[in-house]
């Protein structure tokens, strides 16, 4: 673990903040390792820190009283975990769990809140990111309701790839099924179809995308809708 460099953060959202905010925030960033399955927040928990993933992916998961759960959005190098800090809610509504192991920057929540309240550009960047995250949540709900497991898996793979900037993922089918809120057998069948088509290679929890263009063709419109929103952040 260590402090972040002032010249490079590895996180798109951090790079989009105002220069004034970066000068204050960057020295406070602590680079930490996020192991697979680590829970960063539970629903209802007050957030004392926020996290900016570098090469890890964090799932925001809605958990029911009976223990069943489903993923409502994912956060990678495009954003942060902990928007409740500056959105007025002192605690998070969902569980935040590491979906793909890697590294992230940890920042005291109070530091981010101060910059949100006192720097206009930083505030607009954070609000625009939040809008994109809400769009992802909305589209995920629609996709899970109206599209096939095959299409949901394609969307999920593409969104995960975008957030780690690689062609490979370390994911078990059981984890994917839990995130999508579907049966493992459905994911196994859908992944098998993609493998037969030469779109992916899957072995012992390692998924490699062999034909991204074909994967995008097989996906529903939900991926493109969400990507348009998240890409807007890079306009800053």
Q: CATH code at 123?
A: 2.60.120.10
Say if 30 falls within a structural domain: yes
Same domain, 202 and 107: no
pTM beyond 0.95, yes or no: no
Q: How many residues does the chain have?
A: 236
Say if 46 falls within a structural domain: yes
CA neighbor of 79 nearest in space, from 8, 17, 169: 17
Is residue 67 left, alpha or beta, with left meaning phi > 0 and alpha meaning psi from -120 to 50?
left
Of the residues 142, 172, 199, the one at which a domain ends: 142
What percent of the chain shows pLDDT beyond 70?
91
Give, as one character, the DSSP assignment of residue 182.
Answer: S
Say if 235 falls within a structural domain: no
| pLDDT value of position 124 | 94
Same domain, 22 and 110: yes
| pLDDT value of position 7 | 45
| Helices assigned H by DSSP within the chain | 12-16, 19-25, 84-87, 109-118, 120-146, 149-162, 173-180, 184-196, 212-218, 222-231
Q: What's the rounded Cα separation, in Å, for the pair 175 and 185?
A: 12
Same domain, 100 and 210: no
Residues 26-57 have pLDDT tens digits of: 999 999 999 988 999 988 888 899 999 999 99
Same domain, 188 and 135: no
Same domain, 107 and 160: no
Mean pLDDT over residues 86-103, rounded? 85
2 forms bridges with which residues in the sheet? 31
Say if 134 falls within a structural domain: yes
What DSSP element (H or E) covers 31?
A: strand 30-34
Same domain, 119 and 30: yes
Same domain, 182 and 137: no
Number of domains making up the chain: 2
pLDDT for residue 100 is more than 80: yes
Say if 70 falls within a structural domain: yes
- The number of C-alpha atoms within 13 Å of 226 and in the hemisphere containing its C-beta is 29
Same domain, 45 and 127: yes
Of the residues 120, 142, 164, the one at which a domain ends: 142
Same domain, 134 and 78: yes
Say if 202 falls within a structural domain: yes
Give, as one character, the DSSP assignment of residue 4.
Answer: P
Q: What's the rounded Cα separation, in Å, for the pair 93 and 7?
A: 34
Contact 37, 97 (CB under 8 A): yes
CATH number of the structural domain spanning residue 157: 1.10.10.10
Under the banding of pLDDT at 50, 70 and 90, the label for residue 9 is: low
Mean pLDDT over residues 211-224, rounded? 90
Domain coverage including residue 93: 2-142
Same domain, 6 and 117: yes
pLDDT for residue 4 is more than 60: no
Same domain, 83 and 163: no
Contact 176, 187 (CB under 8 A): yes
Q: What's the rounded Cα separation, in Å, for the pair 143 and 152?
A: 7
């Amino acid at each position: 673990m260590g402090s972040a460099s002032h010249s490079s953060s590895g996180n798109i959202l951090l790079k989009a903040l105002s220069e004034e905010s970066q000068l204050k925030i960057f020295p406070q960033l602590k680079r930490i390792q996020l192991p697979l399955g680590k829970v960063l927040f539970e629903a209802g928990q007050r957030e004392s820190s926020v996290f900016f993933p570098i090469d890890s992916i964090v799932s925001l998961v809605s958990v029911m009283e009976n223990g069943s759960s489903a993923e409502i959005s994912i956060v990678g190098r495009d954003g942060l975990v902990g928007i409740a800090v500056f959105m007025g809610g002192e605690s998070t509504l969902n569980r935040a769990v590491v979906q793909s192991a890697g590294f992230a920057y940890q920042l005291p929540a109070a530091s981010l809140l101060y910059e949100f309240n006192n720097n206009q550009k930083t505030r607009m960047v954070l609000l625009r990111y939040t809008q994109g995250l809400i769009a992802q949540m909305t589209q995920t709900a629609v996709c899970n309701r109206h599209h096939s497991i095959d299409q949901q898996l394609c969307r999920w793979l593409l969104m995960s790839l975008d957030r780690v900037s690689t062609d490979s993922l370390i994911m078990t089918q059981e984890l994917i099924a839990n995130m999508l809120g579907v049966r493992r057998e459905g994911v196994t069948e859908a992944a098998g179809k993609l493998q037969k088509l030469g779109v992916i290679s899957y072995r012992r929890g390692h998924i490699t995308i062999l034909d991204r263009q074909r994967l995008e063709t097989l996906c529903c419109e939900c991926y493109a809708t969400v990507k348009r929103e998240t890409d807007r952040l890079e306009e800053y």
